[in-house]
Structure 1
Amino acid sequence: MKTKIFTALAAGVLLLGACKGSGGSYDNERSAETADTAHLAPDNTTAKTDKLDSAKLVKTADMRVKVKDVGKATETVTALTAKYGGMVIHHQMQTTNEGSQDLSVGNDSVMHISSFSSVADMTVNVPPNHLEDFMNQVAQIGLYVENRKMNIEDKSLDYLSSKLKRENRENAVKQEANTGEKIDREKQLTAKDDIVDRKIANLKTDQDVKYSTVILSFYQSRTVLKEVLPSNDASAYQLPASKRLVSALIYGWSLFINLAVGFANIWVFVLAAIGLWLLFRYYKRKHPAFFGTIKS
């Protein structure tokens, strides 16, 4: 009986030891897996970071803003662009006359009333990491934002495709040159031009990634301008009535003096005419029959 009890106890001890050994092995495997995961995690993070750094993300944006003064708004945007390390590549401002009217405010002046509207278009390049801040600052200078839009285009695959095709072209040109065979000149030039075009396309993509293009449009409410200007009608410029009366009296006296001087210049002719007239009357009185014959 004692032998059976001893045998059962021994079997139980062996079974318990086996279970513990199995559990330890499982724990060792889990620890090993955890260690491997911890070892691989930094590599995956690095790979993702490298992928993000090499991504060709092109950001573009445009805004239409109503402002109080278009001229001052464009000056502020120019200063903001320089602040964020960007550059203004296009700037155009235009004022359109909507109508005008002239109102008389005196004998020799008019009030010129004109209505006009002003708009401005700008295109700026700013670093993409400052794009959101730049757009927020531009929004604050306006009365309100009528339209705001931003696009992000991933050109990584296009960039890679162009790069690989360019390398294929370069390798093909080198192989043809190394074989010593006669090469079609036109075909060779076409291949080289294609290589240049792909290089330029990738350089342009790099530039678009480095600087985001923002198209801005500003406008303001219609402005009414009032100006007092001299009249264009020469007849409107007249002296006061008192001065004109004095001027008329002076002119009349001057005219009388001129007439007197004129008569003085022809006094001989006046005397001759008077003498001829007296002589004619005397002769008519002495010879009435002669004049009667002439009448009959």
Structure 2
Amino acid sequence: MKRLLFFPALFIIISGCQNNTGENELAKALTDTTSITGITGDSVKLVKTARIDFKVKDVEKAGWGVSALAQQLGGKIFHQQLETIEGERKELKMSDDSLLVITAYTPRVAITVRIPSENLELFLHNIAGLGYYTSSSRLDIEDKSLAFLENELKQKNRQRELSKPGNTVKALASMQSINVKDAMIEQHIANRAIDADVNYSLVNISLFQNSLVRKEVIANYILTGYELPFHKRLLNAIGNGWEMFLSFVLFLAHLWMFFLVAGIAWIIYRYFQQSRKMAYNNSTFK
């Protein structure tokens, strides 16, 4: 009887061990990120970038909300720009020197955020709650594992060449060794940049809202609209007419010689006319 009970107990123990092994493997698979290149563990360098455009009620308040959420999740704002796009515009004349300008405009805010990669999904989920309409969203994951590995291997290779016995003094004194060291620095900086991109995901956010209408009274910039009151214009017209009359008299005064010559010519003409008429009459009477 004891021997019969031993085999079921052994089967239960073996099954329990197998279940625990399966759960451990599943947990390991969830926590371990594998590159498409086959690289695993800490050597995996996945750079995540995201973009989301959504509509909000107030872009300024939503912008403050994005900034607060980024700081709460350990991120930072790297760029923030408020832009107002003006649409239709209408001008109404209120008086000779003022206009009522009515303008339709749409405010937009562009924000660039760096968020720790482990909080990227939570950040995208929370900022979507700030708006009520998502125009577009995009998530890109770029695998830079091979680029990181290439820089790392080249750096080790160059360092190995510089550390060879007998070559140290001559190599450090040559221009070639300087170029090698510069290349090592560039590869080191490139890897640091990849690490920064891996650890902090880049998110570009665009916020927009419904168009607003702005009314403002401005000075009339159309100069033809400015006129003096009627009584002043009437007085100016009378004064201008008198000035024109005096100018005309002065103009005639400049022509006195022509009038004098014309008068003398007229007198001579009349004289000859009268003389011819008298001669004709005398001949008729005879």
Category of TM-score, reference length = shorter chain = 0.5 to 0.7
The total of aligned residue pairs comes to 217
Cα deviation for residue 63 of structure 1 reads 0.9
**Are 1:148 and 2:144 counterparts?**
no
Whole-angstrom distance in 2 between the partners of 1:40 and 1:73: 48
- Answer yes or no: is the 8 Å Cα contact 1:107–1:237 preserved in 2: no
What is residue 251 of structure 1 aligned with on the other side?
A: none
- Quick one: structure 1 residues 197 and 43, their matched pair in 2 at CA, closer, same or farther if it must change by over 3 Å? farther
Which of 128, 142, 166 is equivalent to 1:178?
A: 166
Aligned residue for 2:51, secondary structure, equals strand
Which of 199, 204, 220 is equivalent to 1:210?
A: 199
What is residue 79 of structure 2 aligned with on the other side?
A: 90
| Offset from partner CA, 1:37-63 (integer Å, 9 cap, x none) | 999999988987996451322211111
Instruction: Give the TM-score, by structure 1 length.
Output: 0.58
Whole-angstrom distance in 1 between the partners of 2:28 and 2:66: 39
- Answer yes or no: is the 8 Å Cα contact 1:109–1:231 preserved in 2: yes
- Answer yes or no: is the 8 Å Cα contact 1:108–1:236 preserved in 2: no
- Answer yes or no: is the 8 Å Cα contact 2:88–2:103 preserved in 1: yes
Aligned residue for 1:178, secondary structure, equals coil
Cα deviation for residue 193 of structure 1 reads 1.1
| Offset from partner CA, 1:112-145 (integer Å, 9 cap, x none) | 2112232222110011111112112221222311
- Quick one: structure 1 residues 189 and 37, their matched pair in 2 at CA, closer, same or farther if it must change by over 3 Å? farther
Whole-angstrom distance in 2 between the partners of 1:69 and 1:194: 49
Whole-angstrom distance in 2 between the partners of 1:167 and 1:94: 48
- Quick one: structure 1 residues 136 and 106, their matched pair in 2 at CA, closer, same or farther if it must change by over 3 Å? same
Tell me the amino acid that sits aligned with residue 125 of structure 2: N
- Answer yes or no: is the 8 Å Cα contact 1:98–1:114 preserved in 2: yes
- Quick one: structure 1 residues 41 and 193, their matched pair in 2 at CA, closer, same or farther if it must change by over 3 Å? farther
Q: Identify which range, 73-82 or 40-49, moves more after superposition.
A: 40-49
- Quick one: structure 1 residues 224 and 188, their matched pair in 2 at CA, closer, same or farther if it must change by over 3 Å? same
**Are 1:66 and 2:76 counterparts?**
no
- Answer yes or no: is the 8 Å Cα contact 2:96–2:226 preserved in 1: no
Query: Which has more helix, going by share of residues?
Result: 1
Tell me how large the CA RMSD over aligned residues is: 4.0
Instruction: Give the TM-score, by structure 2 length.
Output: 0.60
**Are 1:116 and 2:105 counterparts?**
yes
* Structure 2, gaps ≥5 residues long: 1-10, 34-40, 232-286
